[in-house]
Amino acid sequence: MPSSWNPFFLGVLVFGRNKVSKKMYRLSAFLVLFGAHLSGLWILIANSFMQTPAGYEIVGGRAVLTNFFEAAVNHSTFERYFHTIVASWVAGSLLTTGIASWYLLKEKFVEQARILLKVSIVVFIFAGILQLFTGHLHAVQVAKTQPAKLAAFEGMWETQTNAPLSMFGIPDAEKETTHFAIGIPSMLSIMVYYDSNAKIQGLKDFPKDERPPVFIVFTVYHIMIILGTLFVAMAFLSAYLLFKHKLWDYKWFLRLMLFSIPLPHIAIQTGWMAAEIGRQPWAVYGVLKTADAASVVVPAWQVLFTLIMFVIIYTLIFVIFMKLILKIIRKGPEQIKQYSY
């Protein structure tokens, strides 16, 4: 499906429920879903090549593609893709869970809200627990292909066996130490190599000009980890309440679901920050430094203007999205019950 079609089907999905047939509406919903996942794959292929380049050779100082398949399916494509996609499932399911919880707290559209809550919770339980495994696989990939990034994630300066899994600390790049470091002994070595005696490289193994900015990488990575752990705990709690048929019996649980709506987005953004800042100083890891990738043709003011325009356009899109979705939520399912899906 051409990516240019996706806005058309999204428009049908948002505005066309009462204007197209049931089959067309369902097809549009599926194609938006499929198109979003396919778009995510191509984005992650491009990003993964920059993280773990493959299928190329340097000819005359330039990277020349030698094998498209190896470049596309490189050393991190699938780990990165599945981790990102499952994160979007967590975000989507918590959004609909929060909407259903709001209806129940307001005692509006109760019958439909219970159905929505139950379906959304099932997706959230599956995605929240699955993310634990995709995150682990992705972390193992980073440890083996981008060891400097892993060392920054963990605030670990010395190469060591029985490497601890960092729980807290304040990295200090100038003094090459992490203050107030708290970690679980040997756990990092076990998680990466399933061997407590396995060696994990520290930041001091890498030249100073090839180390990521440790403090920000460490911080955003741990924010993501804390939120991911929270989602796993919420998934098990939700599974327990679902099994006991008590999903809508506790207002504290409904409020928890409602106020959790923004949390996956914070986790996603901090995860991307950890991945992209953690790659620095490389634009293409181990091949091209960011400083050397700066354009000598495009002046700085044009780059700044482009960034400002992107911020304005996406802010406008976000405002329109929020206005539309809040309008749909306030109308509620009673206003669109002409179709029985």
Tens of pLDDT along 193-214?
999 999 999 999 999 999 999 9
> Both 88 and 113 in a single domain?
yes
Q: How far apart are CA 170 and CA 189, in angstroms?
A: 21
**Which DSSP symbol is given to 201?**
-
Q: Is 45 among the domain residues?
A: no
More confident residue, 141 or 295: 141
- The two tokens of residue 334 are 């009673």
More confident residue, 213 or 4: 213
> Both 285 and 311 in a single domain?
no
Strand 288-289 relative to strand 177-184, pairing: unpaired
Q: What is the pLDDT of residue 127?
A: 96
pLDDT at 3 over 80: no
> Both 146 and 184 in a single domain?
yes
More confident residue, 341 or 181: 181
Q: What is the pLDDT of residue 338?
A: 46
- CB of 149 closer than 8 Å to CB of 139: no
Instruction: Kindly give the residue spans of alpha helices, DSSP state H, lying in the chain.
Output: 6-15, 22-51, 68-72, 77-106, 110-145, 147-154, 187-193, 214-243, 251-259, 263-279, 290-293, 300-331
Name 27's Cβ contacts closer than 8 Å, sequence gap at least 6: 9
At residue 79 the predicted structure's pLDDT band, cuts being 50, 70 and 90, is very high
Q: Is 262 among the domain residues?
A: yes
**From the CA atom positions of the chain, what is the Rg in Å?**
23
Q: What is the pLDDT averaged over residues 115-137?
A: 94
Domain, as residue range, for 325: 298-341
- CB of 209 closer than 8 Å to CB of 202: no
pTM of the model: 0.87
| Count of domains forming the chain | 2
> Both 189 and 237 in a single domain?
yes
Q: Is 152 among the domain residues?
A: yes
Which amino acid is it at 217?
V
User: Which residue, among 202, 106, 219, has the nearest Cα to 151 in the 3D structure?
Assistant: 202
Which amino acid is it at 55?
G
> Both 306 and 218 in a single domain?
no
pLDDT at 288 over 60: yes
> Both 188 and 136 in a single domain?
yes
Peptide bond into 281 cis (omega under 30): yes
Q: How far apart are CA 103 and CA 115, in angstroms?
A: 11
CA atoms within 13 A on the CB side of 56: 19
Q: What is the pLDDT of residue 177?
A: 94
**Which DSSP symbol is given to 210?**
G
pLDDT digits (tens, 9 = 90+) for 5-14: 566 677 777 6
pLDDT digits (tens, 9 = 90+) for 239-273: 999 999 998 889 999 999 999 999 999 999 999 99
**Which DSSP symbol is given to 55?**
S
Q: What is the pLDDT of residue 29?
A: 81
> Both 218 and 305 in a single domain?
no
Cα angle, residue 291 at apex, residues 285 and 292 outer, rounded to 5°? 80
User: Considering only 2-11, 33-42, 52-61, 195-204, which range has the smallest mean pLDDT?
Assistant: 2-11
CA 287 to centroid of chain Cα atoms? 25
Q: Is 9 among the domain residues?
A: no
> Both 211 and 316 in a single domain?
no
Q: What is the pLDDT of residue 117?
A: 94
Q: What is the pLDDT of residue 6?
A: 61
Q: How far apart are CA 123 and CA 91, in angstroms?
A: 10
Q: Is 14 among the domain residues?
A: no
Tell whether the torsion through CA atoms of 51, 55, 57 and 62 is positive or negative.
negative
> Both 119 and 93 in a single domain?
yes
> Both 267 and 302 in a single domain?
no
> Both 223 and 339 in a single domain?
no
- The two tokens of residue 14 are 């948002």
Q: How far apart are CA 317 and CA 269, in angstroms?
A: 18
Q: Is 268 among the domain residues?
A: yes
Looking at the chain, the whole-number percentage of residues with pLDDT higher than 90 is: 66
Q: Is 65 among the domain residues?
A: no
**Which DSSP symbol is given to 186?**
T
Final residue of a structural domain among 279, 294, 309: 294
User: Considering only 89-98, 175-184, 303-312, 327-336, which range has the smallest mean pLDDT?
Assistant: 327-336
**Which DSSP symbol is given to 75?**
S
